């Protein structure tokens, strides 16, 4: 194999596919990036068996062939080479020379035959949305997936299509995040659970451009994202997702309208008194026109008041401050509405059109400072 | 005690003195910052018994007094408060209220009586240089102090004053860094060894301003840095520093003139093949007009050539690439001169006026790629 491409194109491509290289694996071929120049285009591939990424790099193929190179070393070499044309040449013994200007690296590759290609997926069913929208919706929901594997379904996000609505849901047993997106077209109904890891990695690759689209294809076991010159294939999580509709209710006893930034900064301040792992709640007392926030820990105490608009009953309720912060951080509205029922029932932060719903379970508190 | 000061002034002051708060200590009073409002000014103090910092914060003292507060908590609180006036009030039970707008923190302080003040130092002997110069000279030498305590003197830097010359030296047994600074005045001769930790912390506090001066005072056991409204007092390292003059020689067999950036980038590229802890040398072959750099590791090999101007004999010599990189990074010249004798003798990177001298010992190499 012999090929030439510019450093910037190659670096961009390697950075993209490197997202599918596992940190730890016992199969050393999975730690590799495959350079596939057997066809008419230079393709880079990586695949950790759950998630696979393929991208096309512009360049010239002087001699067809393929080679698998250790992803970390290859990325480091490409990154540190001068900003000029890079030539990659392999021989039959898998020795690979990577040259750029007067610098020449020699590393030993692995045979491309051992590499597991992406599963070939029939691309029929698809939806289209902008890269910006997909990147945003992941950011606005990914924080409330479960961080452990106890329940596999909780480690993914529900993507539910119904007509022209895409609903994205994540939950971890303490909170639920729901975002609704209006699509340009109507599509057949569909429900899949996409692994959180896939979404995390894909959001790093997406440009976040409003004018560039992503096509998403579904099959029984896989989801495929196609954008720019890149294809991302991921397994789906199997099983039936939680029935969240029965957890949502529009009844409330108290409705609070509050400036989001003020509330976020106040809760953020309060958390500095809480050491990691310590589960001190922030206690919120709501009365006419006033919200008082208190936290009490071994380190000290904090007490702060915020002006609000209140409808309904007074209430005192405790929350894990981190859960409140996570939700408030990803809401773009300046003023938000919080709906409460009683100190044991979940609170809802949602807009009128329900483009977003954040449900947070309260925590018990016994003593109040 | 009761005082008021702006958040920005207080934060700046706390950030400065926090540099003298030890990370780990068994004496909890050392983890504190003392707010001393017993006099006419608000002073902040921290002291880890080796290094002490005192700074004055502008503000208003409404009731005299003092309190020692946990540095980490205090810094976190000040950092997260709104950008407005902060009021600090203590009562006889050491309970401390820190309020700003509607936010109120309550923490328990420690008695200021337990706090160990900075030693009072007679300030007679002093030299003056700009904050910029001091910050630069620390950056240009601090990397070659020893990172372990086996030889206490190697963990510090020699500050030697002779007439209007300040010479700063650091060495770790494998290399020596020397910088000479011309002072505005002549001073009596003096030699002290300043702990590396002190220099690291002080360089974080220095503004790096060319127009602002630092006064440095010396006593038998201490060094004092005075700048802006801050005083830093540090113990000196006792003992006689190494006689470096006999290690320096101006004889050479080979002189190489090379573009610094090119050489640095080339060695930097080579190191990506070396895993941390692996002691692979970079092998440099110098011939007429050409420097070839090679590295060979379990990962692969690199080979690169650089144009040079050579005087004297050809030579092949091996170096720890990190030591070369450390020195090259802090030299501002575009073209540098490297002086070599033989593969067992140290190389020197120095300018004609010897404003800087970097000595690096070579390493043995047996096989060449």
Q: Measured between CA atoms, how close is B104 to chain A, in angstroms? A: 5
Q: Measured between CA atoms, how close is B259 to chain A, in angstroms? A: 15
Q: Measured between CA atoms, how close is B185 to chain A, in angstroms? A: 46
The answer to whether A304 contacts B102, with C-beta atoms less than 8 Å apart, is yes
| A302 touching B (Cβ < 8 Å) | yes
Residue A115 is predicted with a pLDDT of: 86
Centroid of chain to Cα B74? 26
Two structure tokens written together for B230: 């801050």
Question: Which residues on chain B are in Cβ contact (under 8 Å) with A306?
Answer: 102
| A34 touching B (Cβ < 8 Å) | no
pLDDT digits (tens, 9 = 90+) for B118-174: 888 888 878 999 999 999 999 999 999 999 888 999 999 999 999 999 999 999 999
How many residues does this entry show for chain A?
369
The answer to whether A105 contacts B302, with C-beta atoms less than 8 Å apart, is yes
- Torsional sign, CA A160, A166, A171, A176: negative
| CA distance linking residue B198 with residue B51, whole number of Å | 7
Which strands, in side-by-side order, build the sheet including A290-296? A315-319, A282-287, A290-296, A300-307, B103-108, B95-100, B85-90, B2-6, B60-63
Q: Which residue of A has its CA nearest to B100?
A: A304
Q: Measured between CA atoms, how close is B301 to chain A, in angstroms? A: 5
Q: Please determine, for residue B184, whether its predicted confidence score (pLDDT) is greater than 50.
A: yes
Which of A:306-335 have CB within 8 Å of B?
306
pLDDT digits (tens, 9 = 90+) for B19-45: 999 888 888 888 999 999 999 999 999
Percent of chain B with pLDDT over 70: 99
| CA distance linking residue B329 with residue B133, whole number of Å | 17
| CA distance linking residue A7 with residue A28, whole number of Å | 26
Higher pLDDT, B9 or B116: B9
Residue A52 is predicted with a pLDDT of: 96
> Who among A103, A104, A303 is closest to B104 (CB)?
A303
Question: Which residues on chain B are in Cβ contact (under 8 Å) with A102?
Answer: 304-306
The answer to whether A300 contacts B105, with C-beta atoms less than 8 Å apart, is yes
Alpha carbon of A212 to those of A56, A132, A136, A208, A229: distances in Å?
A: 17, 8, 14, 8, 12
Residue A368 is predicted with a pLDDT of: 46
Q: Please determine, for residue B224, whether its predicted confidence score (pLDDT) is greater than 60.
A: yes
| CA distance linking residue A60 with residue A44, whole number of Å | 14
| B138 touching A (Cβ < 8 Å) | no
Range A188-226 burial, b when 16+ CB lie within 10 A, else e: eeeebbbbbbbbebbbebbeeeeeebbebbbbeebbbbb
> Who among A102, A299, A301 is closest to B304 (CB)?
A102
**Residue A321 near residue A283 (C-beta atoms within 8 A):** no
pLDDT digits (tens, 9 = 90+) for B256-307: 999 999 999 999 999 999 887 778 899 999 999 999 999 999 889 999 999 9
* Residue corresponding to tokens 């579904």: A218
| A303 touching B (Cβ < 8 Å) | yes
Question: Which residues on chain A are in Cβ contact (under 8 Å) with B266?
Answer: 103
Q: Please determine, for residue B65, whether its predicted confidence score (pLDDT) is greater than 70.
A: yes
Residue A134 is predicted with a pLDDT of: 97
- The residue ranges of chain A whose pLDDT is under 50 are 368-369
Nearest to B358, CA basis, from B196, B169, B199: B169
Query: ∠ CA(A154), CA(A155), CA(A158), 5° rounding?
Result: 65
* Residue corresponding to tokens 């071929």: A29
Residue B276 is predicted with a pLDDT of: 75
Residue A367 is predicted with a pLDDT of: 53
pLDDT digits (tens, 9 = 90+) for A140-172: 999 999 998 889 999 999 999 999 999 999 999
Residue B368 is predicted with a pLDDT of: 46
Nearest to B191, CA basis, from B134, B125, B132: B125
The answer to whether B272 contacts A82, with C-beta atoms less than 8 Å apart, is no
The number of helices, as runs of H, and strands, as runs of E, in chain A is 6, 24
| CA distance linking residue A32 with residue A365, whole number of Å | 51
Residue B149 is predicted with a pLDDT of: 85
Residue A200 is predicted with a pLDDT of: 97
Question: Which residues on chain B are in Cβ contact (under 8 Å) with A305?
Answer: 102
ipTM of the shown complex: 0.87
- Structural domains of chain A ordered from first start: 2-114 (3.10.150.10), 126-244 (3.10.150.10), 248-360 (3.10.150.10)
> Who among B76, B272, B303 is closest to A272 (CB)?
B76
pLDDT bracket for residue B369 (50, 70, 90):
very low
pLDDT digits (tens, 9 = 90+) for B66-86: 999 999 999 999 999 999 999
- On average, the pLDDT of chain B sits at 94
| CA distance linking residue A17 with residue A115, whole number of Å | 14
Pairing status of strand A347-350 against strand A356-360: antiparallel
Residue A248 is predicted with a pLDDT of: 92
How many residues does this entry show for chain B?
369
Centroid of chain to Cα B336? 24
| A105 touching B (Cβ < 8 Å) | yes
The answer to whether A105 contacts B81, with C-beta atoms less than 8 Å apart, is no
Query: ∠ CA(A72), CA(A73), CA(A77), 5° rounding?
Result: 120
Tell me how many residue pairs between chain A and chain B have CB atoms under 8 A apart: 74
């Amino acid at each position: 194999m012999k090929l030439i491409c510019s450093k910037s194109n190659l670096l961009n491509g390697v950075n993209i596919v490197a997202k599918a290289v596992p940190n730890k694996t016992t199969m050393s071929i999975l730690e590799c990036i495959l350079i596939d120049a057997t066809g008419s285009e230079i393709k880079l591939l990586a695949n950790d068996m759950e998630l696979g990424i393929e991208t096309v790099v512009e360049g010239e193929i002087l001699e067809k062939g393929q080679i698998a190179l250790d992803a970390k070393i290859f990325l480091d070499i490409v990154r540190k080479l001068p900003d000029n044309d890079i030539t990659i040449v392999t021989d039959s013994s898998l020795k690979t020379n990577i040259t750029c200007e007067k610098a020449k690296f020699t590393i030993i590759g692995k045979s491309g035959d051992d590499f597991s290609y992406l599963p070939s997926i029939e691309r029929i069913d698809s939806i289209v949305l902008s890269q910006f929208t997909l990147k945003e919706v992941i950011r606005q929901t990914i924080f409330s997936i479960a961080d452990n594997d106890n329940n596999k379904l909780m480690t993914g996000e529900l993507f539910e299509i119904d007509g022209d609505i895409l609903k994205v849901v994540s939950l971890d047993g303490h909170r639920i995040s729901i975002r609704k997106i209006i699509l340009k077209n109507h599509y057949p109904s569909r429900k899949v659970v996409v692994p959180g890891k896939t979404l995390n990695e894909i959001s790093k690759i997406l440009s976040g451009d409003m004018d560039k689209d992503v096509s998403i294809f579904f099959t029984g076991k896989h989801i495929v994202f196609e954008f720019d010159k890149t294809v991302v294939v991921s397994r789906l999580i199997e099983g039936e997702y939680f029935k969240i509709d029965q957890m949502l209710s529009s009844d409330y006893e108290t409705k609070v309208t509050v400036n989001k930034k003020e509330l976020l900064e106040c809760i953020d301040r309060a958390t500095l008194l809480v050491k990691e792992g310590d589960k001190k709640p922030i206690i919120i007392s709501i009365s006419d026109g006033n919200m008082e926030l208190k936290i009490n820990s071994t380190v000290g105490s904090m007490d702060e008041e915020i002006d609000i608009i209140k409808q309904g009953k007074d209430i005192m309720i405790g929350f894990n401050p981190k859960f409140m912060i996570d939700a408030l951080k990803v809401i773009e509205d300046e003023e938000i509405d919080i709906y409460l029922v009683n100190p044991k029932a979940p609170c809802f932060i949602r807009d009128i059109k329900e483009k977003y719903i954040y449900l947070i379970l309260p925590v018990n508190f016994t003593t109040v400072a």
